[in-house]
Copies of this chain bind each other. A is one copy, B any other.
Amino acid sequence: MFRFTKRMHEQAGLPPGTTVHIGERKVEKVRISLFDYAAGHLEERVIDKVEECYPYRDKPTVTWINVDGLHDVEIIEKLGECFGIHPIVREDIANTGLRPKLHDYGDYLFIILKMLYFEKGRHEVTVEQVSLVVGKNFVISFQEDGEDVFDAVRARIRSGAGRIRKSPTDYLAYALIDAIVDGYFIVCERVGEEVELVQERLLGSPDPESLHTIQSLRGELIDLRRSVWPLREVVASLERGESPLIHKETAIFMRHVYDHTIEIIETIESFRDLVAGMIDIYLSSISVRLNEVMKVLTIIATIFIPLTFIVGIYGMNFHAMWPHLGWRYGFAAVMGVCAAVAVAMLVNFRRRSWL
């Protein structure tokens, strides 16, 4: 979560509305793809020069421009100017350290979301920022990387199945948000498996390692929360249909995404509850073990320390001892006393149920 902060401060001191890329550069070259469609029409293009997008501004059909890679600030600037996007929005698009939010600029909605996924072979959740600008007849999406979470949406547009081709831009926005939120379930499941694993290990044989795992799980859940909680507000205000850009029919679908978001939030909160409980388990299991260690020491010591004293008595070099050292059964008698003491101790421990 320090990442959030670090990225932010790079911009500190710059005048507002200055578009500066803040974040890692995840792709070599910015890739732009364009879909233009209507009920009976479909055009799909890969854009080389950003200027090729300009003519689509005034077409009544739905235009979806997807930009992969944010480091080429000029592209954002040019698209922004063409589609009338406020400079402060452009600044936010290029800054990958922001929290999910929805701002209504009248002519268009500006939405920031966090896309979560596990990269192949990596153990940690990757968080990527996605910005959507939703206008009357266009949707522009900005991604850090060209991950294929939107491929299902592309397939649906191409096939013309479902409502997507017959619906305005708000439905496309819904489809994109839905695709992102669906990804959260997979992350939640993976985290849930990790939580279950740690819990089992803890109840079995807890070691200092476990604590580190718990602490890192906690950190991961804090990160997840920071991505999902604000998302809830975003989707809720989309669902309420406050903007005229969101039609009533789409609001029903948005409500569905909202339900999913709540579902995810509840799951995360349950995980947090469980992880909080784990520390109690860990602490008490350490105490239980200490108790066991101490019992072993106490049993051995309380049995043998008095015995050592007894045999020590007859190791004294006094000439006159009682019983006389020459007594034939002296050795047997002392050994008998020792045995009796040991048995008495053992009975005592058994009564305390230490054995």
CB contact under 8 A between A321 and B331, given known A4-B267, A12-B182: yes
Within 8 A of B (CB), among A337-355: 352-354
Interface membership of A152, Cβ < 8 A? yes
**Which residues of chain A from 298 to 315 have a CB within 8 Å of any chain B CB?**
298, 300-302, 304-309, 311-315
Interface residues in A193-243 by Cβ distance below 8 A to B read 193, 196, 199, 203, 205, 208, 211-212, 215, 218-219, 222, 226
* B315 and A16 within 8 A (CB): no
Quick one: given A309-B311, A314-B318, are A6 and B189 in contact (CB under 8 Å)? yes
The distance in angstroms between the C-alpha atoms of A118 and B316, with both chains bound, is 70
CB <8 Å contact, A222 and B15: no
Counting CB contacts under 8 A, is A119 at the interface?
no
Tell me whether A75 is interfacial, beta carbon within 8 Å. no
Q: Are B331 and A318 in contact (CB under 8 A)?
A: yes
A304-B306, A312-B312, A317-B314 known; A288-B208 Cβ under 8 A: yes
Question: With A9-B186, A186-B9, A295-B293 in contact, do A99 and B266 touch (Cβ < 8 Å)?
Answer: yes
**A120 lies within 8 A of chain B by Cβ:** no
Residue in chain B with minimal CB distance to A16: B253
- Of residues A5, A205, A291, A327, which shows the largest number of chain B Cβ atoms within 10 Å of its Cβ? A5
In the complex, which of the residues B15, B88, B193, B211 contacts A156, with contact meaning CB atoms closer than 8 Å? B15
Name which of A40-48, A134-142, A277-285 contacts chain B.
A277-285
CA A286 to CA B281, docked complex, whole Å = 13
Q: A101 on the interface (CB 8 Å rule)?
A: yes
Min CB gap A18→B, angstroms: 8
A283 to chain B, nearest CB (A): 5
**A50 interface hit (Cβ, 8 Å):** no
Residue of B with least CB distance to A3: B192
B286–A297 CB distance below 8 A? no
Q: Does A183 contact B (CB under 8 A)?
A: yes
- A-B contact list, 21 entries, CB within 8 Å: A1-B270, A15-B156, A16-B256, A17-B162, A17-B163, A88-B256, A92-B256, A208-B285, A215-B281, A280-B283, A283-B284, A286-B291, A287-B290, A293-B295, A294-B294, A294-B298, A311-B312, A311-B316, A319-B325, A319-B330, A320-B331
Q: What 12 additional pairs, Cβ within 8 angstroms, besides A16-B162, A199-B215?
A: A1-B267, A5-B188, A12-B183, A203-B212, A211-B281, A218-B274, A218-B277, A292-B352, A297-B298, A305-B305, A308-B312, A321-B331
